[in-house]
Amino acid sequence: MSVIVNCQSVSKTYGAGELQVYAVQSLDLTVNKGEFLSLSGPSGSGKTTLLNLIGGLDQSTSGTINVAGQHIDQLNKSQLAEMRLKQIGFVFQAYNLIPVLSAYENVEFIMQLQGVAATERRQRAEAMLAEVGLAGLGERRPAQMSGGQQQRVAVARAIVSRPAIVLADEPTANLDSHTADELLALMQRLNETHRTTFIVATHDPKVIAFTRRRIRMRDGRIELDETEE
């Protein structure tokens, strides 16, 4: 299997001297293409920080991070933005949809930044909205959709640009149990169909149980890494 994420001796600190705090400490992690894994642990364990480091949203204090063949700790801001645009899809707890855009337009947005032609953008957006169960709802704006529907749009937006990896931070936190189950089933189907790698930071025991590889963090370190046979 090909490696999609490789973290070697990665640390992230805040402050200095006696006030220095480790969010992530000397962490090693290898993720293979097509894995579906969860990062769990108590608040302050470092899981969201690790997600942000892998996604290039934050910069490590020390160590190396390789994502899709690129050493992201060596990239400048414009190179990082380009890498995120082409290689990484993000799903946030707060959806982060653009309120003045329709579902179609939200899903098309990343492809537009990538320079994909308008006709292809619309075709791919329509197909992806259908795949996430939102066929016929493309003209609705976020305010006209339920929380579960908005999260499905967010997942469609993350997937439609065909990234190598999707990073999801507490994707079920604002969803009821039934909608969370549907979202997990959707993510699993996309993982199996497209071999998209999913890394999900979560407190939700249901999400943890659902994932095939489960990493539990504490005090910025990995204390458990288990894979379901």
* pLDDT above 90: percentage of residues in the chain: 55
Domain 33-59+76-227 has CATH 1.10.1270.20: no
pLDDT at 229 over 80: no
Segment 187-226, tens digit of pLDDT = 888 888 888 899 999 999 989 998 999 999 999 999 999 9
pLDDT at 1 over 70: no
Segment 132-146, tens digit of pLDDT = 888 999 999 999 999
Segment 12-68, tens digit of pLDDT = 998 877 788 889 999 999 999 999 999 999 988 999 999 999 999 999 999 999 999
The whole-chain average pLDDT of the chain stands at 90
Q: Kind of pairing, strands 3-14 and 62-67?
A: antiparallel
**Distance (Å, rounded) from C-alpha 215 to C-alpha 88?**
20
